[in-house]
Each structure stands twice: as C-alpha cells, then as structure tokens.
A and B are shown apart, each in its own frame.
Chain A
Amino acid sequence: MRAVDALMECLKAEGVEVVFGLPGGANLPTYDAFYDAGIRHILVRHEAGGGHAAEGYAKATGQVGVALGTSGPGATNLVTPICDAMMDSVPVVFLTGQVRTELLGTDGFQEADTIGITMPIVKHSVMIQHPLELPRAIHEAFHIARTGRPGPVVVDIPTDLSRADIPYEPITDVHLPGYQPTTDGNQKQIRLAAKALANARRPVMYAGGGTIGAAAELRELATSDRLPVTCTVMGLGSFPASHPQWLGMLGMHGTRTANYAMDEADLIVAVGARFDDRVTAKLSEFAPHAKFIHIDIDPAEISKNVPAHIPIVGYAANILPRLTAEYRALEPDPARLEEWWHRIDAWRTRYPLSYTESEDAEIKPQYMVQALYEATEGNAIVTSDVGQHQMWAAQHYHFDRPRQWINSGGLGTMGFGLPAAMGAKVGRPDETVVCITGDGSFQMNTQELATCAQNGIGVKVFVMNNGYLGMVRQWQELFWDRRYSQVHTGQYPDFVKLAEAYGATGMRLTDKHTLVEGMRQALAIEGPVVVDVRVAAEENVYPMIAPGQAARDMVG
C-alpha cells in the first residue's frame, strides 16, 4: 500500500479519532489518504488554530492530539503550538509535509527546515529518510508524546516518500534504547517522604500540572490527614476548589493564604510542579523555612530551581498511593496540624479574594467570571487566553475536577483560547465548553470561528472586552509610571458583527444586572456563540507579588 495509507493504519492503531489540519502541496498524498480512511479530519483556517485545537483536545481528553500542516509556511505556522505544547507538557503529534527528497536543501518551493526550526521546542522529532521507516516512526512518536513527561513530537514526511508503495505490517512494539523513563518511584525515598510528612507541623502540598492525571490519588493523600493543598495555574482542578483543605492558587496572582502558607511552611510536597518563577517569585526568599519533597516524572526538574531534600522520580499516580499507605501506617497525630490550621484559617478570613463592586451597571471583570460560574453552574470546561482575563478566570471560576481548566501557562500564548475550546469540544462533545478570552487575544485566532460554524462545534466564547491589552497596561500603570505605550485597542472590531460574518451568533452584554441571564441565553443557543462583554477598562488583577519581591510582600 502507499506509505500514506500505512500512516492511516498507524493512526487508527493508535486510537486516533480526530485530527486537525490544513492541506498543501507537500502533504497532498496524506490528504488523499484521509479522503476515505475513516478518520475524522477537521479543516482549520490556520495551522496554528489546528495545533492549539490538538492541544485543547489532548488536555480535555488525556489522549494524544494530532495536528497537520504542509511544508514551509504550513510547518512554520505550527511553531507556536509546538512550543506551547512543549512548555505545558501536552502530548501532541505534529505531522508536517516536506518537499521531495531531491529538493532538500535547495530552497525548493515551500521548503523550510522544519526539524531544524523546531529542534529546541520538541520532545522529539524525526524526518523520514526512507518510506519503510514511516510506520515505526509514527508509533514511536505517539509513544514518546504520551509517556514520561508528555510533549510534542514532530514527524516530517518528504512528499515523494509518502507516495512510495510499501508492504505494511502492523507494529506492536517500539524499541527506544535511549528512552526509558523511571515511572515507579523509589520505595526508600517514598518511606523517607512519609516520615518527613508525618513529622511536619506546617506542611503544604503544592500540586502542578503533573497531577491532572492523578487527582484522585492526590486527594486521597491530602485527606488521609488535613493536609493543606494549593495548585499552580496548570494544576487547577486536580484538587477541588470547593474542598475545605483548598488554599487557592499560589504564585504571582495566587491567594495570600496560599502564598503565606508556602512562606511559613516547614515541609512542602511538590507534586508534578516545576517551581516556575511565577510561583517562586524572588527565588532566594522562596519558602525559607521549608524542606522539599519533590515528586516529578522528569529527573531534570528535580533541584532545577529549588534543591529537593527528598526527590522521588516517577508518575504521580504511581507514587502518591504508596506515599499515602506509608503515611497512614505511621499513624501521624492529626492534632499536630491544629495550630497550622488556626493560622491558615485566620489568613483565609482576613484575605479572601475581593474586589470593589461597581456602583452602577458597569460589569467588573471579576464579576464577569463569577457570573459565568453561576450561569454554567460551575460545571463547564473553561479555556482561556492570556492576560488579565486568564488570571481572573483562574481565581474566580472554582474548578472542582481535573481537565476542566485549559490554558496556556508556560508560553502564555495569546490566541490559544478559541482553538483550544474547539479541540476540547470535539473531544468532549457532551460538555459545555466556554472560552474566556480578551479583546486582544481573541483576535489572534478568530478565524477558527469559521471552523466551528462549519462543523457545528458549539463553543461559547465570552470576550472580556476592556479595550486594552490589559495585562500589559496593568504593568505600565504599576511599574512604568502609567506611560501607556501601545496598549489601547479601542472598541475594534465589532465582535457581534464579526461573529455573524463567521456564521456564529453574536451578542453583547453591558449591564451587570442582566449579565447572568444574558449568559444563560447565550449558553442555550446552538452552535458557536460570541458574547462581547463590556467590562471596566482599567481594573487590575490583585493580589499580586510584584516583580522581584517575595511572597510575603504581596500587594493588593
């Protein structure tokens, strides 16, 4: 069969239900194979949209996402999603077309060195050199993307090789001698960690994106005693926000409670979290009294930024149950945590997340998120873009389950929200999927509204329209003497008309008194909907750890 037909067989064998892409010259053979392969292909309007959709699909379902682009500009359009998937550890396989082998290196039509361009931002990549290699390369790509620390894998396929006639035998094993992640966690280390935890008087569990697939196990450990839990932006939902042991998010825009608890903790259990600078703030003053247990699948994360006293390498879902068992066996005295909870409760009472409500009908952005929580009964899958709206969404939409919150944290990619919502909705068609976006971010991938309209993908987009690149404006206001340089976007474009032009429904909401009701109506409309929510223009995200400061010096 043709190598591209073998490719289809491989995708099916990997359980691929849907792919996102856009054709061109170099991947014409692949698209010919899609014509009757029985794999759902969603035609996006920009390869970046397809790449982020594959990420959204992966984040919502836990399955490997797949995105395709042709050679040259198709592949370079995928660069941002590839980098985004790398930073946030998202399993996505990117299949790019390449010029025919005899043109390689000649500046052939639509030639770009895709492997070279993407080398520093992939978990792995390979250019097919011989058609017989293709099936194995595809299975290896899925294996590498899915296992260990998940991430993006690029497979670049020269167009002549994809047309070759090859014998196809299903492949059932992958053999990668240089890739053997440690997955189980060392029992001795686990025992040490249990002991440290049983002796801690001011422990905090700091859970990150690596706990999304281990939410039940995380909860089991936390509730074997009253262990306080905080999550990073990436970890939100892995521990229920409605749980009494929840401290709120930590980091730059986290709660004071979570940040103060880190600051005074004597033991921090980091699980699937990577001590990002948005979390540690001033590194030399981060959690000065704490010892660290660090559980992570990636040995390179251990002691990268903060030295770990008890490192444990492996999957959180494998390690946490054994840690729980060892911890329980020690029968730690729950009374030892009482004083700590007194202190935490005092912070919680004194410093709840708050904002000043408007006196008129004006919609405060924080209230917009609360209203959306109410209108969706806290049950939607929420994607977001990047900026103030992202932080308010993280703070005020209280996520109770994993995979309910999908955002771009590490790269902070404006334009992520809508395509990610599209991918999430395709993967989870029975759920309500909303995208909280900003007037700036939304315009970076708006074209995917056409994809949603054409395919009946009913995402509900809520634009928090403040007429500014708000997050940058906030920094200019606070740290650059209010010299607003190139952050004003005005009320352009008209999002209602834009939505209609794309074949979606457009709505505008401007009054806080009818906001929840208006949102409910929008949610009830079939197909894609864009709601332009006009909010207070110059509101700031608080609390905040100012740049260069320590957690205990939070402001606002």
Chain B
Amino acid sequence: MKPFLYLDNAATTQMDPEVFESMKPYFMEYYGNPSSIYQVAQECRRAIEDARQEVAAVIGARPEEIYFTSGGSESDNWAIQAAAQANRKKGKHIITSKIEHHAVLHTCAYLETQGYEVTYLDVDEYGIVDLAQLRESIRPDTVLISVMAANNEIGSIQPIAEIGKIAREYGVLFHTDAVQAYGHIPLDVEAMQIDLLSASAHKIHGPKGVGMLYIRKGVKLMPLMHGGAQERRKRAGTHNVPGIVGFGAAARRAQAGMQEAMERQSRLRDYVIGRIETEIPFAILNGHRTKRLPNNAHICFRFIEGESMLILLDEAGICASSGSACTSGSLDPSHVLLAIGRPHEIAHGSLRLTLSDAVTKEDLDGAVEALKGIVARLRDMSPLYEDYLKKQQEDAYVQ
C-alpha cells in the first residue's frame, strides 16, 4: 500500500500500538471463556472487570453501569428499543433529533411501524437542537429523549447537560449517542443527567467490534440478546475478551490524553478551516465554529460534487469523506446538511476532514494544497460554475 494521509478519523481510527499490545495475551494465552470456572478463565474475568472500570471512568459512571456490546450501533438499537418497550405502559412517544446517526433514526423508524410516535427535533443553522422545541415536544406519554452528544458529520456538540436537566425535570429517560464524543470531549453522566449512553471503541484508537451501553443504575431495560448470564443477564453472548481489554486500554489512553488532544486538535482544526476559507473561494463551513468536535472540519464547496472530490483526493493519497449522496450508496444528500438548511446542490459538494493525534500541521498544509487544485479542476468542469460566471458577467454588464 502506498503511504497515505488519513483524515477520516470519524469513520474509524488506527489502533494505538499500546492498545494492541494489551490485547495480545487474550488471543492465545488467556483464551478461556470468562464464564468458566478454571483459572485461565478467571484471568479473563479480571481483565474484563478492569476494562469495565476504565471505560466507566471516562464518563464518571460506576463499573456496574457499563454493558459491553458489539459497538455503537448495537448500543443505540438496544437503548432505544428497550427503553420504548420497558415504558410502553406509560406511553409510546419518543423524541429525537433530525441529525442523529442512522442507528438511531432507523430504530425510531422501526418503532414507528410498531405504533410508536416519534418527534424529530429541528436543529439551527449550526446543527444544534432547539431546547425550547424540546420542552414543547414533551408529552405525558413521552418515554424517551435520544439526542446525540456530538454529530458524526458536522461535529456539532449538543447541549447535553441542558437536555439532561429538562429530561429529568419531566421524568423522561435520556439517551445520548456518544459514539463521536466519548473519549474526545468531557462527558459526565451525573453532571449531565444522562440515563443511557452509547459508545464505541474503534473511534478512540481501540478495536472494531466492541462498544458499550451505559445504563444508569435503577433504569430497567429488557435484554436485547437472550441466552446467557453475561453482562448481568442483560447481554448474552460469550465476551469478546481481547476486544473488551482493548476498549479498556483505549479508554484509559483517551482519558489521560484528552485535555492535550483537545487543545492540539482544535488548534489544527481551526488552522485547516481558516486556510480553506481564505484560500478556496466559495467554501462554506458546516457546523458551529466553536461548539464542534476538536477533530472535525466539515466544508461545502459550491459548484462541485463530493464523490469526484474524494476520488481525486484519494489519488493524491488523502483519505477523507463526504456527506455526499454518491458515496453512501443512497443518492439523497446528507440528512444532516439538509437539516441545517443547505440546499441540495451545495450539500452535494461536502467534505469532512477528521483529525487524530498523528496528524501534523505539515500534513494539513499538504492536504490544503491538494484540495485547492482539485476544487479548481472540478469547478472548471462544472456547468454550475460556468452558469455562475456567466451570470456574474451579465450582472456586471448591466451595471
């Protein structure tokens, strides 16, 4: 493989070497089933409990409130379906936002087919939910509020503490999809009054295929998987021991380095956004300027389309992503960009760059240079740009 610059850390991250080291003994040495009685299994049990502690510490939770799953999507599915189920005597109304991950939106859509009603909160032009609308949407039969901690596309950070406060005030369960936020920005389930929280290991330099659901003590949820006593009888299935150990190590790493990473990455983020905005015409920042994930830059380039941009970036050795229709298999533009009011043709030319600790300023300088050429080249090809220039000329002529 050719060397490449990886700027798609919201999609997944490279595993940290120390995390990998911590996992190794649990493949061939300590391979026992943690549910068994002999000593090799005991070591596995101990390792799982250590990991549980470390994963819990990141969000100020107690270890017994952490339930390991196969990842963020499973956690989201579980939290929402089980919370709806458990409270169906109270009502069948759920509140979420228009910019949630599909793991949340599609679960809600499924529940709609089962007789539930779902309110999808609007967001403002920066992609932040409207608290007044949240308050107005709560009804006596509302059983769950699910709002993500930070958006996976445009990085906007939601007012989670305020949402938690409102939810508690009305006695409604509050779930947050923290897959992008966990280990990246401070979260505290007590201070923010969060009842359920989903997170995933591979977004913080841990392994793929493992995540967790935090369930506040006292909140009753049905298991999603049946068939074993694992995870306090709530999530059956033999533990993914190396994965869980890796998650613990990644959580420890993220927690220890969070402050420094936040400062460094937000500086680089603002630097790359600044360069793009000043050096590439018709570039529009998506999301909030400061209330955004430290590693997220998301920009629309007018008159061009995202997939072509990504393929050309890839040719230049740069991995990035786009909320564009053509890349995701579905042809519709990103629901997040539409929700913040971007018209279709602008939403199509979007680019998401997400950083990690490994990314340097020089890397970003290289990316901006490549991007400048690519955007110019695609605009040269674009009938929309041609029309725009002609219109400019005509307008100038009229004046």
Do A and B truly interact? no
